[in-house]
Amino acid sequence: MNNILDKGSLESLRRMIADSDRIVLTGHVRPDGDAVGSTLGLWHLLTRLGKRASVVMPDQPPRSLAFMPGFKEVSVFTRHEDFCRRLIGEADLIICCDFNKPSRQDSLGPVVAEADCRKVMIDHHQDPDAFCDLTFSYPDMSSTCELMFRIIAGMGYYMEMNLESATCLATGLITDTRNFTVNCRNPEVYEVLMHLLEKGVDKERIVREALLAQSMDSLKLHAYAIMEKLEIVEPMRAAIITINSEELARFHYERGDSEGLVNKPLNVRGIVSSFFLREDDDCIKVSARSVDNFPVSEVCERLFGGGGHRQAAGAEFHGTLEECRRMLIEALPSFKHYLPHKLDKLEY
């Protein structure tokens, strides 16, 4: 495996860890497999090295990640704010994983940003803010977990990485690449996976738990959304699904139930982008995915002030569901030049 990480930065991080006793690991709001995997993956190692490490998340991670070793150790800011503030206040070092700016942590953001200790960022999103003393930003990597594996190995702690740590890191690698279907062109991604499997990771279980498992209500919500609520903007090869709160209630919606739905229309040959608009308590949640390098991050940013990765992005819109849908449909043609020159026939 090529050593693409900066030697000096690795040594700085190794020293910062060695010099710290209390270390807080933290991730982005609505923590996903990569945020929880990278923080817990490192947490297992630091605990093994005798550090008083803790994981603090802005809000509750989804139930689909509850199988991860150490999941119960995660402290949730919206649930135990005082406790989380104390952990951060007492920390010698804070390591920010899988996010690039304090706003990605909602109300936890300012608490972390203003904490009076050294901070490190370990992340793979573009354009990181400069709020950390040491920044590992590698937007070309599949996942923060891939980066975390490389950092741990690069600091010379591969032997200390146990099965628990490897399981957490593999979870982020698997969820961010959707079980190696996106962001996995670099052959070294599979070398990282190989090393994790060598640690004894049960990949099949991770795929089942973190990617596939859903409730019957969730399955039916997906079926309904595709049957009744999917529209195609044909000239733009875009799919749009809108779901209002009344429909969500009908399927006893719980957070995470619509996970993966936005990807489904992309299975149809000829569809280039897919947008899922869901009515939430105080806003419309926009989630967008694409193939053929169509920049949904730019769509989300320009229309709604959101962002993300080029082929996987999101935003929040303040207004009605119908306004959001109209805005999207009206603005999409201005992104037409990004469509591939040779379009597949749209297969209905």
Contacts to Mn ion by CB under 5 A: 34, 98, 144, 176
Q: Crossing angle of helices 144-154/7-19, nearest 10°?
A: 80
Measured from the CB atom, is 144 or 165 closer to Mn ion?
Answer: 144
**In whole angstroms, how close is the CB of 264 to Mn ion at the nearest point?**
21
DSSP H helices, 179-320, are 188-198, 203-206, 216-228, 245-250, 296-304
Q: How far is the CB of 143 from Mn ion (least distance, A)?
A: 5
CA 162 to chain centre: 23
Which of 176/259 has CB closer to Mn ion? 176
DSSP 344: P
Smaller CB separation from Mn ion, 34 or 164: 34
- If the CB atoms of residues 146 and 209 are measured against Mn ion, the closer one turns out to be 146
Q: Which residues pair with 110 in a beta bridge?
A: none
Residues with Cβ < 8 Å from 142, sequence gap 6 or more? Answer: 124, 173, 176, 177, 183, 184, 186, 189
Angle (deg, nearest 10), helices 163-176 and 33-48:
160
Our CB check for Mn ion shows the closer of 132 and 236 to be 132
Question: Where do the H-state alpha helices sit in 239-320?
Answer: 245-250, 296-304
341 HSE (CA, 13 A, CB side) = 0
Q: Which of 156, 119, 138 is nearest to 45 (CA)?
A: 156
d(CA 81, CA 72): 16
Cα–Cα distance between 150 and 193 in angstroms, integer? 11
Nearer to Mn ion, 241 or 312 (CB): 312
Cβ closest to Mn ion, residue 31 vs residue 70: 31
- Write down the least CB distance from residue 124 to Mn ion, Å: 6
